[in-house]
Chains A and B, each alone.
Chain A
Amino acid sequence: MMNIETINALTSRVLMAQDSATTITKLTDEFPSMTMADSYDIQDELCRRWVARGDRITGMKAGLTSRAKMLQMGVDEPSFGFLTSAMACPESGKIQIDELVHPRVEAEIGFVLKREIGGDHLSIDDVMAATDFVIPAVEIIDSRYEKFKFDLISVIADNGSSSRYVTGGRPMDPRNLDLCSIGVVIECNGDIEELGASAAVLDHPANSIIMLAAHLHSRGARLPAGQLILTGGITAAVAVQKGDVINARFQNMGSVSFRFV
């Protein structure tokens, strides 16, 4: 386990890379004995620094939750991370691409809870009963590691590659949807780049929340009401460039669109 000085130093290194859109080498290259708990300690320290400079924690994300993503990144379990007000971008808006290193986009289903939940024995029914609404979302992930190459421990220290997110379309009561079979298409400049169905996320996106809650439980925390939870990409992530217009279409839930400038 890392000492507090090392956690603080690595947090500064990650934060600097995030803020300046530069890459760093994988933390595990320099610290091979680093653990997942160390990485989540770095995330907690990131949160403290964000809040100290005036950002608000707006939610959490589960990442690497689909087979497509696990294959793409060569890992075999999910990662979790935090969302902040500085990462939120408006639907139909513009995202400054030069603030990012090598962004990719993925379509996800966002959950907003109406009451706090926690523990390591939640069921899908528990999650659904606590859900206020679900909403289409696109997450812009951006690894601060060179060439998007990382291991699970390093990516967690980089806050699960979180960088920006956009919600849009129709917020919906999940009881009015079959959350397993929501079809999703990501278009870039009008061409279909990726498609899938929501069961790609651990057979049901609520399973992401169950795993996230269990993870928080292991760190003595719970999932709060009112925040956005991104449950993980339904498709493989699509690399984007300046000028690209992204449109993610969700069955019965509308679409989310924005542009990189």
Chain B
Amino acid sequence: MNSEKIIKYGAELYSAFSSQQTVLPLTEREPSITIENAYAIQQEMIRLRLANGERIIGKKIGVTSRAMQDLIKVNQPDFGQLTSAMLMDEGQPVSLSGLIQPKAEAEVAFVLKEDLAGPGITAIDVIRATDYVVPCFEIVDSRIKDWKISIQDTIADNASCGIFVLGKTRAKLTDLDLNLAGMLLERNGKLEQYACGAAVQGGPVNAVVWLANTLGKLGLPFKKGEIILSGSQSSLVPAIPGETLRCTVGGLGSCEIQFED
């Protein structure tokens, strides 16, 4: 795929994001699009967001569960970039009006206290570089019509990033058994989903190792202070105005999100 097309699709997805109008899957129009092409388009889309005053504050890891990988027929995760405009306050109602077809995922977020420069990163490096973990919700959204995504479509579309909320309780990795920490997702106080940390690549640290090494290969920085959403432990669930979702991670705490129009 030549650079004109990369720029064109990056601009198209940015425009879809700004105008909240979906586009057809890129893979329908460019059957030979590669994963590398898709990350290049993502970079272009993000460049346009940064030009509009946003800052990079972290990364998200997607497609981390076996169920999700089977669904879109891949055997590895993907990643997107988190910007300052995506972070919402816990405790404030979250407006869905800026999103097109939002869905929620319960996750654990990592915050780094050191840079991580892959390739060659191992779990020990991630544990050492992690300042703390925090329960969070990611509200994913797709600029692709009806969520009809293949892996290239979602990568180009910034891994279907929408917005996210961090809970207020933090823990060090040495203070909890993250892989076995139970995760409960409640809607309006009623249990809807449950899982545990191992749902993400056998353990969320594994997902962050993958991310550090993948970013390293692509020459992208992974800096101290960045927030990493380590991947959904739940299935995607509907985000509906007027409803409240709460995720609780055993030994860590909760994150609550209340949706409004």
Contacts and interface: CB of A to CB of B under 8 A. Distances in A.
Interface of A: 178, 180-185, 192, 195-200, 203, 249-252
B37 to A, nearest CB: 33
16 contacts: A180-B250, A183-B197, A183-B198, A184-B180, A184-B182, A184-B196, A185-B196, A196-B194, A196-B196, A197-B195, A199-B184, A249-B180, A251-B177, A251-B180, A251-B182, A251-B251
B249 interface: yes
Given A197-B196, A200-B194, A251 B181 contact: yes
B199 interface: yes
Nearest to A203: B191
B183 interface: yes
Nearest to A66: B194
B248 A183 contact: no
A181 B180 contact: no
Contacts of A196: 182, 194-196
B191 A183 contact: no
Contacts, number: 70
Contacts of B183: 181, 183, 197
A46 to B, nearest CB: 33
- The 4 tightest CB contacts between A and B, nearest first, are A183-B196, A197-B182, A181-B250, A183-B182
A50 B251 CA distance: 42
B202 interface: yes
Contacts of B202: 192
B249 A195 contact: no
B182 A185 contact: no
Contacts of A198: 182
Given A182-B182, A183-B183, A250-B180, A197 B194 contact: yes
Contacts of B191: 199, 203
A195 B251 contact: no
Contacts of B184: 180-181, 197, 199
B248 A195 contact: no
A199 B198 contact: no
A251 B195 contact: no
Nearest to B197: A183
A233 B250 CA distance: 18
Contacts of A200: 194
A198 B183 CA distance: 9
A20 B244 CA distance: 53
A18 B182 CA distance: 35
- Count chain B CB atoms within 10 A of each CB in A180, A184, A197 and give the residue with the most: A197
A251 B250 CA distance: 8
A195 B195 contact: yes
Given A180-B248, A252-B177, 7 more contacts: A182-B182, A182-B250, A184-B196, A185-B196, A197-B194, A249-B180, A252-B251
Contacts of A178: 250-251
A198 B250 CA distance: 10
Interface in B148-185: 177, 179-184
Contact of B198 (A181, A182, A195, A203): A195
Given A184-B180, A184-B182, A252-B177, A199 B194 contact: yes
A249 to B, nearest CB: 6
A139 to B, nearest CB: 19
Interface string B115-153: 000000000000000000000000000000000000000
